[in-house]
Chain A
Amino acid sequence: MRRNPQLNKNGELQHLLSIEGLPREVLERVLATADSFIGVTEREVKKVPLLRGKSVFNLFFEPSTRTRTTFEIAAKRLSADVINLNIAASSQSKGESLLDTVANLSAMQADIFVVRHGSSGAPFLIAQHVKPHEHVVNAGDGRHAHPTQGLLDLYTLRHYKKDFTRLTVAIVGDVLHSRVARSLIHGLTTLGTPEVRVIGPQTLIPTGVEALGVHVYRNMREGLKGCDAVVMLRLQNERMRGALLPSAQEFFKHYGLTADKLALAAPDAIVMHPGPMNRGVEIDSSVADGPHSVILPQVTFGIAVRMAVMSMVAGASA
């Protein structure tokens, strides 16, 4: 297999495309850099000049308000100019190819492309074709990866639980379609988490997922036993009823996180969710708003983590 396309010759982060294949030191450096930005986000003047004069292009081929906004805030706090492009509604619908779109934007002197695309691997293709001084940050591609979400999940876990090597983490729900789950699994296994579990009906668990280093549980109550962290995944509306699941109600009954199921986890377990939540589908409101929930801190950490990623890739020499 070829060299990991996200690292440059010096092992620095040239692009962030996937957590898979990133060495432990790189992940730790992102988390440590994010630490230094947490202070910034709490200051009165929430800006540092690290990316002054640089242009960040938010390239969203798939609609997303939340992720795009957090990238925008992170870039602005680094003093970058941010250009938001909602491609889903423009050039692609006019038949322009992905690479043509990127070439055109590249001619407008971009420094960082933040890419969200519905097709797995699209940011890899873009990264292969950008100029050496341009950087690509994957903001979610198909079912494949959502590395900044994975990193903010790692940041959250580290914040509350300190030591990855003593953790049991359960990821629950639609793992099949989840780029969040894949990114977090790679992050946890790289950082030495001994027990990563995925919980869900067989229809929502991808074939051979064990090869990623996880244990599969069909029964949520069994899977939650002794967990230090429970990561709930979002169930897309269109998947609630059809060939994969009969109904949102039945899903909630067996795989929704309720207070009584959470009681099976460790007493100090934390509950995470990448958002946006479907209350009453994958998570009960009493849990989402309860004392174990760290869902809102995740959002705050997300900005610091995205600042860390953008400052690191921009600092990598071509």
Chain B
Amino acid sequence: MTLRIVNARLIDPASGRDAAGDVLIERGRIAALDGDARAARAERTLDAAGQVVAPGLIDLAARLREPGEEYKATLESEMEAAVAGGVTSLACPPDTDPPLDEPGLVDMLRRRARALARARLYPVGALTVKLQGETLTEMAELAESGCVAFSQANIPLQDTQMLWRALQYAGSFGFSVWLRPAEPWLSRGGVAHDGDVATRLGLPGIPSFAETIAIGTILELVRATGTRVHLCRLSSEAGVALVRAAKREGLPVSCDVGVHHLHLCEVDLGYFDAQCRLDPPLRAQRDRDALSEGVADGTIDCVCSDHTPVDDDAKHQPFAEAAPGATALELLLPLMLRWGALKKRSLVQTLAPISCAPARILGVQSGRIEIGAPGDLVVFDPEAPTRMTPDALKSQGKNTPFLGYELPGRVRATIVAGKVVHEGE
């Protein structure tokens, strides 16, 4: 199968290219560009006049709810949502039921994903058995069955001795560890940023230093072990500053932020809007601005959707009892385009944190448009708006703070390994 895309505005954040061009994909990989691609014969040709063609998006955190939570979402629905959102590769955290702590589970999940032939799936294995923080998982085995990194998802390790040992062990095999920096004691019971809004609404708070203390601990252990650590879902200004200093020091750390945290802050909780119940919590305006600046200056490597399908029963609850999380696979591109417009960033700069940067963290070849790279592309119209309605969303999770919003960007086609896996209007 050969696929040719012509008349595109070709954007490749990895090389900084933003110019008219053509792409040819052959046997799943990019085989030719521009003149050569144009001249080649192909079984199918897509005319992308007026459209942007960019590397398919790579999302470092999307919960697919399988295994175990199929009532919230299924692999079918969420993979469909991924490609509808232009996401061609995604990493899923291990907080499924049971958690991804056994090679058999990981195998099955990957097999199911491959059979669906939508986006590429990169499971993140559990760092400890059942995520309970007591026993290391068989990381080497899990890596063989396809885990790309190891993580505790949103359940931080309380025991710092365990964390130290886990980093030592993972580092022995060259694995990286993805950690959500959240000091468990300080986070305990909290449901919102410990600040003016939580005080006004009478909601138990999570202070920013729950994040910075955890980052401090993790950075010390990175210094001690040399293990590569990816910090997940930063939420505070002080957290960004710590990572900036750590990178300057040369520590092997990277980090990401959830896309909601670039747009929303505690004020958006309004009168207890449970759609804004997220984990980590939305913090103050200055935190949001610092996160946004952190993405702009490269301190924050990647932006992820932190896609978390939550059903209505779990969301339509008093704020503190509502399940945290939002559906976001289909909002990642629109929200990044909105961010880029607000921050006056070029499309190259806007797309880097959701393509080549996460590819580097995952250690995969996709996320770029060059000869030999996997044929994963997204074709989208950056100007056409999309209205976020429950019906328009493919995800089984319909809950998002942006419900009813009109956001920029409309995905016209998503291509994985040279196959058109989604076509939009």
**Measuring CB to CB, which residues of chain A are less than 8 angstroms from any residue of chain B?**
1-2, 5, 17, 20, 97-99, 117, 119-122, 124-125, 141-145, 179, 182, 206-209, 211-212
Which residues does chain B contribute within 8 Å of A2, judged by CB atoms? 270-271
Please pick, from A5, A120, A208, A211, the residue contacting B202 in the complex, using a CB distance under 8 A. A120
Encoded as 1 (CB less than 8 Å from any A CB) or 0, chain B from 172 to 213 comes to 000000000000000000000011101111111101000000
Contact segment of B62-70, B78-86, B312-320, B406-414 = B312-320
Q: Is there a chain A Cβ closer than 8 Å to B364's Cβ?
A: no
- Of all chain A residues, the one with the shortest Cβ separation from B194 is A207
**A208–B199 CA distance with the chains assembled, in angstroms:** 7
Docked pose: A179 CA to B201 CA in angstroms:
9
A254–B316 CA distance with the chains assembled, in angstroms: 43
- With A20-B200, A182-B200, A207-B198 known to touch, is A1 a contact of B267 (CB < 8 Å)? yes
Q: Report the bound CA distance from A98 to B272 in whole Å.
A: 15
What is the size, in residues, of chain B's interface with A at 8 Å between Cβ atoms? 24
Taken together as a complex, chains A and B put the C-alpha atoms of A213 and B276 apart, in Å, by: 26
Which one of B195, B196, B313 lies within 8 Å of A97 (CB-CB)?
Answer: B313
5 A–B contacts, CB within 8 A, in A order: A97-B316, A117-B318, A143-B203, A182-B200, A208-B196
CB distance from A97 to the nearest CB of B (A): 6
In the bound assembly, the distance between CA atoms of A142 and B319 in angstroms comes to 11
What is the interface of chain B, defined by CB distance below 8 A to chain A? 194-196, 198-205, 207, 267, 270-272, 274, 313, 316-321
A312 to chain B, nearest CB (A): 20
Q: Is the CB of A212 within 8 A of B320?
A: no
B residues near A98, Cβ cutoff 8 Å: 317-318
Once the chains are docked, how many angstroms separate the CA of A98 from the CA of B313?
10
B272 engages A124 (CB within 8 Å): yes
Minimum distance in angstroms from A2 CB to a CB of chain B: 6
Given contacts A119-B319, A119-B321, is CB(A144)–CB(B270) below 8 Å? no
With both beta carbons as reference points, the residue of chain A lying nearest to B191 in the complex is identified as: A120
Among B196, B202, B267, point to the contact of A179 (Cβ < 8 A). Answer: B202
Bound Cα distance A99, B202 (Å): 21
Tell me how far the C-beta of B114 lies from the nearest C-beta in chain A, rounded to whole angstroms.
38
Partner of B200, one of A17, A97, A125, A211: A211
Q: Point out the residues of chain A lying under 8 angstroms from B207, CB to CB.
A: 207
Q: Are A125 and B317 in contact (CB-based, < 8 A)?
A: yes
A120 to B192, CA, bound (A): 12
Given A5-B271, A98-B318, are A212 and B202 neighbors across the interface (CB < 8 Å)?
no
* Chain A neighbourhood of B204, CB < 8 A: 143
Docked Cα-Cα span, A2 to B404, in Å, equals: 14
Chain B residues lying within 8 Å of A121, measured Cβ to Cβ, are 201, 203, 271-272, 318-320
Q: Which residues of B contact A17 (CB under 8 A)?
A: 271
The 3 closest A-B pairs by CB, nearest first: A121-B272, A143-B202, A144-B202
CA A207 – CA B195 in complex, angstroms? 6
Contact between B199 and A212, CB atoms less than 8 A apart: yes
